[in-house]
Amino acid sequence: MAGIEYVCDCRSLQEEKKEIQYIMTGSSSRKLRKSVSDLLGGRALLQQMGPFIASELKESFSLEKALKTGLIPLIWDSTDPEQRLLDYLHLYLREEVQAEGLVRQIGDFSRFLEISSFSHASVWTTTDISRESSVKRATVDNYLQILEDLLLAFTIPVFTRRAKRKLIAHPKFYFFDAGVYRIVRPQGILDSSQEIEGWALEGLVAQHLHSWVLAQNQPHSLSFWRTQTKLEVDFIIYGPKGFWAIEVKRSSNLGPDDARALLAFKEEYPEAMCLFVTLGKRKESYRSFPVIPVEEFLLGITPENPIFLQQ
């Protein structure tokens, strides 16, 4: 109730002293959003403060560290980031989910969370998650909504503007931070470290693009493109500042198969700026597409500028 009382106090002060700007923040995103919506509807702007982006850290940014433990400020500055990540995850499971009664069975939710980690940077299919986690489809949909409400995850839709090819309908799923993904994802002798690092890399790019889109004053969309014949481009950004198609590759040695989806997208959308982002160390081009080292690409993302400009 204290949070609601505080919002009521802010509403009273706002009416009395209209020249003052009030900023409210809190750890419970669901409570804060509900209180603002119910009591300050139309008089408050809702902003999300996500993890760091590389350009905020500048020379302190380390791609290796970001891929391993993520960019949550509390974790980034910690002397024991992996333990901090475990504590962070436990805090949400216990206080945000269990204590607030968001789910009836915390064990089911924990199992769902673990299974969801295998869908990070992948197409989200409720039926598959339901089967693997032994949780009902409707409950899976509710759990996904909880993750999004808690800002622990986000999904991106398929880009369908002026579509000529048959496209899939399911969205892609990402945890909001690469470090959170790494700590939730089970790892053992049967798991490929290269595969996990590849999903973490795509997720790191996704969280930067997601932050950029949220920071824009004019609406921009973040989506992906995948045909029913399995041609896929990882990210499509569309809006007033530009139209980009971005393919993320862990390897810097690109071949014909790597360019097939971008070539198909460029054929369908010649207006788009298409590019590769890889773990390579230098700028180059492949099949006329710019190839940008991922660290350079991330450091170049700032809210006030376009995602990428051809030089």
Residue appearing with tokens 């932050």: 211
Sign for the CA dihedral angle at 211, 216, 218, 224 comes to negative
- The Cα–Cα gap between 243 and 259 comes to 18
Residue appearing with tokens 């204590």: 99
Q: Six-digit token pair at 226?
A: 């995948």
Global pTM reads 0.89
Helix H or strand E encompassing 173: strand 172-175
- The Cα–Cα gap between 87 and 190 comes to 26
306 and 293 Cβ atoms separated by less than 8 Å: no
- The Cα–Cα gap between 182 and 193 comes to 11
CA 246 to chain centroid, in Å, comes to 15
The pLDDT tens digits along the chain (311 residues) read: 444 455 555 556 566 666 677 676 765 666 666 655 555 555 666 677 889 999 999 999 999 999 999 999 999 999 999 999 999 888 777 677 776 667 778 888 889 999 999 999 999 999 999 999 999 999 999 999 989 988 899 999 999 999 999 999 999 999 999 999 999 998 888 788 889 999 999 999 999 999 999 999 999 999 999 999 999 999 999 999 999 999 999 988 999 999 999 999 999 999 999 999 999 999 999 999 999 999 999 999 999 999 988 65
Q: Six-digit token pair at 291?
A: 């190839």
Using DSSP, state whether 300 is helix, strand or coil.
Answer: coil
Give the chain's radius of gyration (CA, Å).
21
272 and 265 Cβ atoms separated by less than 8 Å: yes
For helices 126-133 and 137-149, the axis angle rounded to 10 degrees is 100
Query: Smallest Cα–Cα separation from 97: which of 48, 26, 152?
Result: 152
Q: Which residues contact 135 (CB under 8 A, 6 or more apart)?
A: 108, 111, 112, 129, 143
pLDDT value of residue 151: 87
